[in-house]
């Protein structure tokens, strides 16, 4: 049964109630002057039934954000500030995950928020059958009763069927399944308690493109049927253009652009977003040169002054070395109410001129897939 009532489902995702509000979230690895500032003041909102894509190069903080928001961050990661507020679309229960006690957090996980990790082989226990792992997980969240195990087994069979795995695979060990099947098992586990939010951390990275397409299509089909919200993390922005309602682009531990997929595709406003979009070839439309992004991501211990992207930015001007841009509305204001960008080109008081045309234009019909 879907989580969304018909009235809510009829609204565009951005007009639905937020289920997760991340505010000013900061994470360091280590302490003192050697601390790596992996996340700095991240703000993100996920609405009911929305697919929010999170993209950026390796090491930009995408996975750290997922682990911090679910309180699964391993040491030496330290959450140094912020809040992560969950509000149920079902009945309004919730609270700040960063301030919940252990018991409350344990109940919240899987029931309200589930996560699918990258690399299913590392997440599944190799010495237990997938059936046992599914059943144990379900039982850990259910009150003990005489029929609990039989009910959990029935639910495990139902879940395998839901993700397209034959039921007789319940007795298989992880190594007896293909990579695609293992990843489907992880998705089945995440959906076991019908959570309202599923965080997918590069769930298809280890798979070939055919299997990647199948898994993504299945996730989207399940999302439409069940109505959960998704945070989909990947370095592949072209994949997000296909499946996400909204895309947040991360660079050096910050969000630098947050806009609808269509806006990101048609008119990237941040030079880094534009660089990502020009780093893969179009499958349709005229051929174009792949520009890529010069240089490498910055050292998070010694971040550049001013805008963290300025050493690599083809549009950098003097002020970019001095002033750190803040994520905010674009200079197009009311014409782009949903979009936020952290770039000084959006500040008419300091920008040397109009926004460069190359930042905003991609040929019509140049769809990715
Ligand atoms: Fe480039 Fe300057 Fe904008 Fe940073 S603030 S992205 S350096 S133009």
* Average pLDDT value for residue range 317-341: 88
- % pLDDT > 90, the chain: 47
What tokens does 264 get? 């990101």
- End-to-end Cα separation, the chain, in angstroms: 31
The pLDDT assigned to 127 comes to 95
**Which residues touch 122 (CB under 8 Å, ≥6 apart)?**
none
pLDDT tens column, 111-133: 899 998 877 677 889 999 999 99
Tell me what pLDDT residue 283 has: 58
- Sequence-distant (≥ 6) Cβ neighbours of residue 311 within 8 angstroms: 295, 298, 304
Q: Please report the atom of ligand 1 found closest to the CA of residue 323.
A: 5
Report which protein residue has its CA nearest ligand 1's atom 6.
343
Tell me the pLDDT tens digit for each residue of 23-48.
Answer: 999 999 988 878 899 999 999 999 99
Residue 362 confidence (pLDDT): 42
Is the pLDDT at 14 greater than 80, yes or no? no
Pick 179 or 6 by higher pLDDT.
179
Per-residue pLDDT for 291 more than 80?
A: no
On the question of pLDDT at 369 being above 90, the answer is no
Mean pLDDT of 185-194: 89
pLDDT at 357 over 70: no
Q: Where is average pLDDT lowest: 182-191, 287-296, 307-316?
A: 287-296
Band (pLDDT 50/70/90 cuts) for residue 285 is: low
Select from 316, 116, 302 the least CA-distant residue to 205: 116
Ligand 1 close to Cβ of residue 345 (< 6 A): yes
Asked if residue 360 has pLDDT above 70, the reply is no
* Burial category of 124 from C-beta neighbours within 10 Å (exposed 0-12, middle 13-18, buried 19 and up): buried
**What pTM value is reported for the model?**
0.88
Residue 58: the pLDDT is 87
What dihedral do alpha carbons 325, 331, 267, 311 form, nearest 10°? -30
Pick from 1-10, 11-20, 202-211 the range whose average pLDDT is largest: 11-20
Nearest-atom number in ligand 1 for the CA of 270 is: 6
Q: Report, as an integer, the average pLDDT of 85-114.
A: 91
Ligand 1 pocket, 307 CB below 6 A? yes
Q: Between 94 and 368, name the one with better pLDDT.
A: 94
Helices (H), the chain: 6-10, 62-69, 102-111, 120-123, 130-140, 148-162, 179-190, 209-226, 237-243, 261-266, 271-277, 357-360
Determine phi and psi for 251, rounding to 5 degrees.
-145, 130
**Sequential DSSP letters for 83-107:** EEEEE-TTT--EEEGGG--HHHHHH
83, two tokens: 């809040």
pLDDT tens-digit readout, 213-244: 888 888 888 888 888 999 999 988 888 988 99
* pLDDT given for residue 364 in this prediction: 41
Asked if residues 359 and 269 have their Cβ atoms less than 8 Å apart, the reply is yes
Contacts of 266 (CB under 8 A, 6+ apart): 360, 362
Distances (CA, A) of 207 to 106, 179, 182, 241, 329: 31, 7, 11, 19, 37
Query: What Rg, from alpha-carbon coordinates, does the chain have?
Result: 21
- Judge whether residue 141 has pLDDT over 90: no
**Ligand 1 pocket mutation, candidates 257, 275, 320, criterion most atoms within 8 A of CB:** 320
Lowest mean pLDDT among 251-260, 286-295, 327-336: 286-295
Nearest CA, atom 3, ligand 1: 343
Sheet holding 246-251, edge to edge: 113-116, 197-201, 229-234, 51-55, 246-251, 254-260, 340-341, 328-329
φ/ψ bin of 82: left (φ > 0), alpha (ψ from -120 to 50), beta (otherwise): left
pLDDT digits (tens, 9 = 90+) for 53-68: 999 998 899 999 999 9
Minimal CA–CA distance to 272: which of 298, 246, 245? 298
156 within 8 A of 116, measured Cβ to Cβ = no
Q: How far apart are CA 181 and CA 106, in angstroms?
A: 27
Res 363: pLDDT? 39
- Ligand 1 mean position, distance from CA 367 (Å): 27
Tell me the C-alpha distance between 187 and 44, whole Å. 24
Mean of per-residue pLDDT scores for the chain: 87
**Atom number in ligand 1 closest to CA 256:** 6
What per-residue confidence (pLDDT) applies to 152? Answer: 92
Alpha-carbon separation of residue 292 from 54, 63, 272, 312 (angstroms):
19, 23, 10, 11
């Amino acid at each position: 049964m879907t989580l969304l009532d018909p009235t809510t489902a009829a609204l565009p995702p951005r007009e639905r109630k937020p289920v997760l509000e991340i505010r000013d979230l900061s994470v360091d690895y280590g302490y003192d002057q050697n601390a790596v500032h992996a996340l700095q003041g991240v703000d993100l909102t996920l609405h009911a039934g929305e697919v929010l894509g999170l993209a950026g190069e390796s090491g930009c903080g995408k996975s750290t954000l997922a682990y911090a928001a679910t309180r699964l961050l391993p040491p030496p990661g330290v959450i140094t500030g912020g809040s992560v507020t969950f509000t149920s679309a079902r009945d309004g229960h919730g609270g700040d995950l960063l301030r919940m006690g252990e018991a409350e957090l344990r109940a919240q996980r899987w029931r309200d928020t589930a996560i699918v990790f990258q690399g299913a082989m590392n997440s599944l226990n190799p010495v237990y059958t997938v059936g046992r792992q599914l059943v144990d997980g379900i039982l850990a969240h259910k009150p003990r009763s005489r029929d609990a195990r039989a009910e959990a087994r029935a639910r495990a069979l139902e879940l395998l069927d839901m993700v397209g795995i034959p039921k007789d695979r319940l007795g298989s060990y992880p190594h007896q399944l293909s990579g695609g099947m293992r990843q489907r098992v992880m998705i089945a586990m995440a959906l076991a308690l019908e959570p309202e939010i599923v965080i997918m951390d590069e769930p298809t990275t280890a798979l070939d493109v055919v299997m990647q397409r199948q898994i993504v299509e299945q996730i989207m089909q399940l999302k439409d049927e069940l109505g959960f919200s998704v945070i989909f993390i990947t370095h592949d922005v072209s994949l997000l253009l296909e499946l996400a309602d909204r895309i947040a682009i991360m660079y050096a531990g910050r969000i630098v652009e947050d806009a609808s997929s269509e806006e990101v595709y048609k008119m990237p406003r941040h030079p880094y977003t534009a660089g990502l979009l020009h780093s893969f070839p179009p499958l349709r439309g005229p051929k174009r040169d792949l520009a890529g992004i010069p240089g490498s991501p910055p050292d998070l211990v010694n971040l550049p002054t001013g805008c963290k992207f300025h050493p690599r930015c083809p549009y950098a001007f003097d002020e970019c070395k001095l002033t750190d841009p803040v994520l905010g509305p674009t200079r197009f204001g009311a014409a782009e109410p949903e979009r936020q960008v952290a770039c000084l080109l959006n500040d008419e008081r300091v920008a040397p001129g109009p926004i460069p045309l190359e930042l905003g234009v991609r040929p019509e019909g140049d769809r990715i897939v």
